[in-house]
Amino acid sequence: SMDKRTECPNPDRIYHASVDAAGRILLPAELRGGMKLKQGSRVIIEAEGGSVRVTPVSQAVEEAQAFFK
């Protein structure tokens, strides 16, 4: 359920980033902090109708475990 998802500090905020020559996108510090992402954190990247969703692996595992309880 959405209420169990990690929430960024301001979920209605639009963040801006750019893609570097290697194809990397730097997530803004406020967003990384709110999602509890640190250097080396693993994420799942999903393409959805022209958009991209980034989910911490730890969150996806918690959601899967809750689903099977």
Q: What is the pLDDT of residues 6-65, one digit of tens each?
A: 455 566 788 999 999 999 999 999 989 988 899 999 999 999 999 998 989 988 777 777
Question: CB atoms < 10 A from the CB of 9, how many?
Answer: 10
CA 6, 46, 10, 42 torsion: positive or negative?
positive
What's the pLDDT score for residue 18?
Answer: 94
pLDDT of residue 5 exceeding 60, the answer is no
pTM over 0.75: no
pLDDT of residue 4 exceeding 50, the answer is no
What's the pLDDT score for residue 69?
Answer: 76
